[in-house]
């Protein structure tokens, strides 16, 4: 299969930059269910814009291109060793071209390999089958949603839902709890795959396998079909909404599979996937490796209709509502920050600096190479490319902020930071620091990597490249960078409010439903 390498490269690019039609349709349906002008509607309009920008720019939809995971079905006699070698080369090529972010990090040293290759990366599963064709599926599942995967061992007590037993009703409670615990940290509204049974490893494999199903398919198991429909109805009554801002849609898809288990074990494994549901597949000619067709596709008319509806949703959400918008230039003053309230949309212009896990850990015990007094830290690991003119931002959406909770309050105090940008919110320690020192948390739209990259006008420098591209401290100059105040300098937190509200709504599903 001399064309196998080129076909895999094309699959990687398509998966990273172009959401499949069934996902687009699900997002468009969610947009129609949200009230115009609300935070969730505005967020979904940004998401819709980002989807189109990524396709047009042939650039990553989300800067976190995740752990590339391949599932390959091939006929007996296929050279799996050569196929694996070609996949490695295609991954490295896509990383160099800026279609993937370098995400493979040594677990002991923290060293980034730079090409997405290393022990365990990428993930490749081969399976033989009795067909002549080769079927290659790929999913790019980012770290933010991967961190919201969860596994339950029944029986157990669940917050808000009480006892979950070893039966269909206990499974029901686990799945509802899985959606609740993700909140906005997994870039809701999302999709979930559920694996019932197996052991701890095979249960998660089964859950992730469900994510390869079409959004609109019908489960052949009647009990599971009823459960999928129930979850789609009730999970969307929790009020979590897009990005955890509150709203009518918290879940875009639910697929459930089952396998046998040991008598002593009863696992329910949930694989959570963000709205940027990047999975695609190709069917290849077994002789040449040329792509015969894509797996997740739809008639051209359906695709065009989905794009037009998403475009209309963008226009409608942009003109509706009365959300307060405030334009600010960095560095920020105490007075400017204390005038902001939860729900305000802030449009930032001027310098800002990226900082993730490695930088936060470093700054606790070391000086900063730049003056952060009045400054803005952006929780972001961008996709960057360098040419003769310097560095260029190819994708730059926010990462999940809660990972920085152990550090953020101390860094705000130590360096005089006035604004922190990320997604999913932060905890009580950071909230207290915002109030004490006069700072705010701004929630950017998770996954909107092209939308935010467009607001970055230049790269003024970089520090700590030894941490790797995603973890380095990038000096960015932005113009019109939009984010929503979700934690203000007065002790208010939208994230805490939505969590409390959704927890109370979760409790209404405590009583048994399935026998």
**pLDDT tens digits, one per residue of 81-93:** 999 999 999 999 9
Taking a C-beta distance cutoff of 8 angstroms, is the pair 443, 379 a contact? Answer: no
Average pLDDT of the segment spanning 324-338: 96
Round the average pLDDT of the chain to a whole number and report it: 95
**pLDDT tens digits, one per residue of 34-78:** 988 888 998 999 999 999 999 999 999 999 999 999 999 999 999
Count: domains in the chain: 3
Whether 243 and 148 share a structural domain:
yes
Residue 457 lies in a domain: yes
Range(s) of the domain holding residue 260: 143-273
Total H helices, total E strands in the chain: 15, 20
pLDDT category at 298 given cuts 50, 70, 90 is confident
Whether 268 and 302 share a structural domain:
no
Among residues 273, 237, 278, 281, the alpha carbon closest in space to that of 255 is found at 273
pLDDT attached to residue 307? 61
**pLDDT tens digits, one per residue of 114-141:** 999 999 999 999 999 999 999 999 999 9
pLDDT attached to residue 323? 74
pLDDT attached to residue 35? 86
- What are the phi and psi torsion angles at 156 (to 5°)? -165, 165
pLDDT attached to residue 319? 44
CATH number, domain containing residue 360: 3.20.130.10
Among residues 188, 207, 153, 277, the alpha carbon closest in space to that of 502 is found at 188
Token digits of residue 284:
């290849």
Residue 284 lies in a domain: yes
pLDDT category at 322 given cuts 50, 70, 90 is low
Last residue within a domain, chosen from 262, 293, 323: 323
Among residues 481, 394, 426, the alpha carbon closest in space to that of 64 is found at 394
Taking a C-beta distance cutoff of 8 angstroms, is the pair 352, 481 a contact? Answer: yes
Query: Does position 328 have pLDDT exceeding 60, yes or no?
Result: yes
Q: For residue 243, what are the CA distances in angstroms to 20, 44, 64, 313, 379?
A: 21, 9, 16, 17, 15
**pLDDT tens digits, one per residue of 429-448:** 999 999 999 999 999 999 99
Please enumerate in sequence order all residues whose Cβ is within 8 A of that of 511, keeping only pairs 6 or more positions apart, or say none: none
Whether 253 and 337 share a structural domain:
no
Whether 336 and 452 share a structural domain:
yes
Residue 228 lies in a domain: yes
Whether 133 and 61 share a structural domain:
yes
10 Å CB burial of residue 267 (0-12, 13-18, 19+) is: buried
pLDDT attached to residue 320? 43
pLDDT attached to residue 300? 61
- Alpha-carbon torsion angle 147, 150, 151, 157, nearest 10: 140
Whether 38 and 181 share a structural domain:
no
Query: Does position 310 have pLDDT exceeding 60, yes or no?
Result: no
Rounded Cα distance between 284 and 8, Å, is 10
Whether 198 and 285 share a structural domain:
no
Residue 514 lies in a domain: no
**pLDDT tens digits, one per residue of 383-438:** 999 999 999 999 999 999 999 999 999 999 999 999 999 999 999 999 999 999 99
Residue 464 lies in a domain: yes
Residue 509 lies in a domain: no
Whether 55 and 1 share a structural domain:
yes
**pLDDT tens digits, one per residue of 459-474:** 999 999 999 999 999 9
**pLDDT tens digits, one per residue of 166-209:** 999 999 999 999 999 999 999 999 999 999 999 999 999 999 99
Strands 345-354 and 390-395: unpaired
Kindly report whether the global pTM for this prediction surpasses the value 0.75: yes
pLDDT category at 318 given cuts 50, 70, 90 is very low
Residue 366 lies in a domain: yes
Whether 346 and 408 share a structural domain:
yes
Please enumerate in sequence order all residues whose Cβ is within 8 A of that of 202, keeping only pairs 6 or more positions apart, or say none: 195, 259
Rounded Cα distance between 441 and 492, Å, is 10
Helix 39-57 vs helix 300-319: crossing angle, to nearest 10:
130
Residue 513 lies in a domain: no
Whether 286 and 261 share a structural domain:
no
**pLDDT tens digits, one per residue of 237-291:** 999 999 999 999 999 999 999 999 999 999 999 999 999 999 999 999 999 999 9
Rounded Cα distance between 374 and 399, Å, is 22
Whether 307 and 380 share a structural domain:
no
Q: In the chain, pLDDT over 90 holds for what percent of residues?
A: 93
Whether 151 and 85 share a structural domain:
no
**pLDDT tens digits, one per residue of 477-499:** 999 999 999 999 999 999 999 99
- Strand-pairing partners, residue 112, are 105
Token digits of residue 276:
């940027």
């Amino acid at each position: 299969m001399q064309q196998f390498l080129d076909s895999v490269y094309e699959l990687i690019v398509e998966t990273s930059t172009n959401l499949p039609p069934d996902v687009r349709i699900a997002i468009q349906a969610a947009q129609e269910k949200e009230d115009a002008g609300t935070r969730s509607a505005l967020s979904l309009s940004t998401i819709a814009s980002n989807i189109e920008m990524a396709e047009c720019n042939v650039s990553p939809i989300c800067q976190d291109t995740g752990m590339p995971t391949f599932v390959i079905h091939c006929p007996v006699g296929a050279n799996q060793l050569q196929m694996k070698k070609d996949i490695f080369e295609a991954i490295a090529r896509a990383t160099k071209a800026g279609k993937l972010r370098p995400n493979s990090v040594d677990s002991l040293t923290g060293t980034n390999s730079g090409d997405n290759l290393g022990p365990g990366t990428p993930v490749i599963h081969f399976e033989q089958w009795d067909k002549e064709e080769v079927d290659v599926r790929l999913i790019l599942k980012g770290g933010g949603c991967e961190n919201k995967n969860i596994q339950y061992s029944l029986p157990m007590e669940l917050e808000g839902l009480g006892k979950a037993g070893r039966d269909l009703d206990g499974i029901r409670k686990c799945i509802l709890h899985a959606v609740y615990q993700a909140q906005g940290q997994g870039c809701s509204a999302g999709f979930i795959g559920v694996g019932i049974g197996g052991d701890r490893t095979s249960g998660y494999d089964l859950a992730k396998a469900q994510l390869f199903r079409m959004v609109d398919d019908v489960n052949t198991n009647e009990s599971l079909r009823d459960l999928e429909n129930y979850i789609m109805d009730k999970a969307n009554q929790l009020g979590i909404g897009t990005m955890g801002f509150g709203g009518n849609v918290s879940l875009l898809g639910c697929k459930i599979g089952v396998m046998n288990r040991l008598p002593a074990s009863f696992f329910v494994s949930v694989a959570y996937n963000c709205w940027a549901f990047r999975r695609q597949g190709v069917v290849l000619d077994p002789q040449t490796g040329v792509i015969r067709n894509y797996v997740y596709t739809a008639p051209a008319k359906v695709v065009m209709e989905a794009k037009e509806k998403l475009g209309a949703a963008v226009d409608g959400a942009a003109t509706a509502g009365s959300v307060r918008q405030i334009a600010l230039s960095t560095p920020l003053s105490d007075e400017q920050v204390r005038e902001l309230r939860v729900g305000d949309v802030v449009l930032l212009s001027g310098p800002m600096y990226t900082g993730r896990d490695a930088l936060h850990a470093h700054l606790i015990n070391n000086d900063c190479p730049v003056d952060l007094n009045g400054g803005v830290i952006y929780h972001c690991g961008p996709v960057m490319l360098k040419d003769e003119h310097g560095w260029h931002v190819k994708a730059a959406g926010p990462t999940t902020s809660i990972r920085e909770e152990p550090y953020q309050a101390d860094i705000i105090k130590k360096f005089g930071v006035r604004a922190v940008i990320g997604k999913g919110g932060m905890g009580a320690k950071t909230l207290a620091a915002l109030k004490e020192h006069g700072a705010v948390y701004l929630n950017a739209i998770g996954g909107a990597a092209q939308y935010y990259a467009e607001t970055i006008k230049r790269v003024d420098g970089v520090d700590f490249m030894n941490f790797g591209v995603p973890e380095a401290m990038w000096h960015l100059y932005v113009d019109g960078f939009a984010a929503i105040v979700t934690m203000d300098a007065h002790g208010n937190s939208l994230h805490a409010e939505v969590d409390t509200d959704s927890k109370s709504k979760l409790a209404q599903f405590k009583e048994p439903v399935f026998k």
